[in-house]
Amino acid sequence: MLTVDSHRQFPGLTNSDQLSDEVIRGQDVWHANNCINCHTILGEGAYYAPDLTKITQMRGAPYLTAFLKDPSQFYDEERHRRLMPNPNLDDDEISDLIAFMDWVANVDNQNWPPRPILVKGTSLPGADLSVAQQADKGEELPPGATPVSAGKDPVALGEVVFRSATPACTACHSIAPDVNMAGPTLAGLADRAEDIIDSSDYEGNAATAEEFIHESIVAPSAYLHPGEMYSAEGKSFMPATYGETLSSEELEHLVAYLASIK
Ligand code: HEC
Ligand code: HEC
């Protein structure tokens, strides 16, 4: 009965109605290039490189497109030691591959595998929240934990959003000086913001550091942080979805938090 029931659930859990031609072609690209010799998806594959089950949700298509064109732009051999070979894919193969990975990301894998190796700095939604942060999100606490809430302090509440937004800001940003990951460090952001607004090549609409930070979150391409690994063809690799997924209150807290980082 269990087997029969499992098979009955597959179409719903796997979104089989979303299996477009693009997704199928992308799966062929995935197989032809032996991505699985280094990576896992849905718990299958080799453990040399990060799990890619939810990669489209953590990185977004613009970033992945640039990464797959030339991975060496994103990893430096001295710092990372392991490098991904350039798969030499053309633009169609890359967009098919991303469609396939996005289909995989939307499979309801019921949290399997339980502890995948993630790309640096990323976490599964909610995974690295402190007890206080879990309490603030109204989540059930681990047994014996005392809820100490972030209370009403906008900076503390903003830090919760920084870790818990989807995808988490911590997937791409560090707040430590000089630590640049998929996105630039946010240390010293407020000071930098003032200089950017004053510079002659700034074309956005912000007049204050707070407005600049807000604009960077909801319209990442309004100003592009210098560096080839952050944007291509005038488009930021940062997801442009936060204006819709975060409430205005969450955005306000996030700006307060980021403006406080020296
Ligand atoms: C020879 C091993 C190897 C193969 C084959 C390989 N990769 Fe990778 N991949 C890596 C390594 C190593 C990293 C970087 C891991 C690190 O150090 O953080 C990586 C990282 C990635 C990332 C994460 C980038 C980021 O910063 O978020 C993606 C996406 C990715 N690979 C996709 C693919 C795809 C798609 C294929 C098949 C076309 C593939 N890889 C084939 C080794 C490999
Ligand atoms: C997939 C990776 C990614 C995620 C997730 C991400 N960012 Fe970014 N972010 C970037 C990249 C790349 C840039 C640099 C390009 C640009 O200027 O938009 C950037 C730029 C920024 C900047 C401007 C920095 C500067 O010096 O100009 C701010 C502020 C920022 N991000 C905040 C956030 C916040 C807050 C979140 C979470 C709500 C977030 N980011 C999530 C990749 C990401």
Q: Each residue's pLDDT tens digit in the chain (262 positions)?
A: 888 888 888 888 888 888 899 999 999 999 999 999 999 998 888 888 889 998 998 888 888 998 999 888 777 666 666 678 899 999 999 999 999 999 999 888 877 777 766 666 555 554 445 555 555 566 665 555 555 556 778 998 999 899 888 888 988 898 988 888 889 999 999 999 999 999 998 999 999 999 999 999 999 999 999 988 899 889 999 999 999 999 999 999 999 999 998 8
Q: Within this chain, do residues 163 and 91 fall inside the same structural domain, yes or no?
A: no
245 token code pair: 């997924």
Q: Which ligand has its closest atom nearest to the C-alpha of 47?
A: 1
Is the CB of 258 inside a 6 Å radius of any atom of ligand 1? no
Domains held by the chain: number: 2
The alpha carbon of 138 and the centre of ligand 2 are apart by a number of angstroms equal to 27
- CA separation for the pair 30, 32 (Å, rounded): 6
The answer to whether residue 80 sits within a structural domain is: yes
The alpha carbon of 240 and the centre of ligand 1 are apart by a number of angstroms equal to 24
- CA separation for the pair 9, 236 (Å, rounded): 39
Which residue range forms the structural domain that includes residue 29? 2-105
Virtual torsion, Cα 158, 159, 162, 164, nearest 10 deg: -100
Q: Give the residue from 88, 105, 122 where a domain finishes.
A: 105
- CA separation for the pair 35, 84 (Å, rounded): 10
Q: What angle do CA 224, 169, 30 make, to 5 degrees?
A: 85
Q: Within this chain, do residues 149 and 254 fall inside the same structural domain, yes or no?
A: yes
Q: What angle do CA 198, 159, 151 make, to 5 degrees?
A: 120
Asked if 187 and 175 touch (Cβ cutoff 8 Å), the reply is yes
Phi-psi category of 202—alpha, beta or left, where left has phi over 0 and alpha has psi -120 to 50? Answer: beta
Asked if 42 and 115 touch (Cβ cutoff 8 Å), the reply is no
The answer to whether residue 112 sits within a structural domain is: no
Virtual torsion, Cα 91, 96, 99, 105, nearest 10 deg: -100
The answer to whether residue 233 sits within a structural domain is: yes
* 118 φ, ψ (degrees, to nearest 5): -100, 160
Q: Identity (one letter) of the amino acid at 151? A: G
Other C-beta atoms lying within 10 Å of the C-beta of residue 104: 22
Q: Identity (one letter) of the amino acid at 207? A: A
Q: Which ligand has its closest atom nearest to the C-alpha of 175?
A: 2
Q: Within this chain, do residues 81 and 39 fall inside the same structural domain, yes or no?
A: yes
Measured CA distances, 260 to 102, 210, 255 (Å): 35, 10, 9
Is the CB of 85 inside a 6 Å radius of any atom of ligand 1? yes
- CA separation for the pair 152, 7 (Å, rounded): 48
CATH number at residue 247: 1.10.760.10
CA nearest neighbour of 246 among 218, 205, 207, 208: 218
Q: Within this chain, do residues 57 and 170 fall inside the same structural domain, yes or no?
A: no
The predicted structure's pLDDT at residue 192: 93
The alpha carbon of 50 and the centre of ligand 2 are apart by a number of angstroms equal to 21
The predicted structure's pLDDT at residue 78: 64
Query: Alpha-carbon torsion 40, 43, 48, 53, what sign?
Result: positive
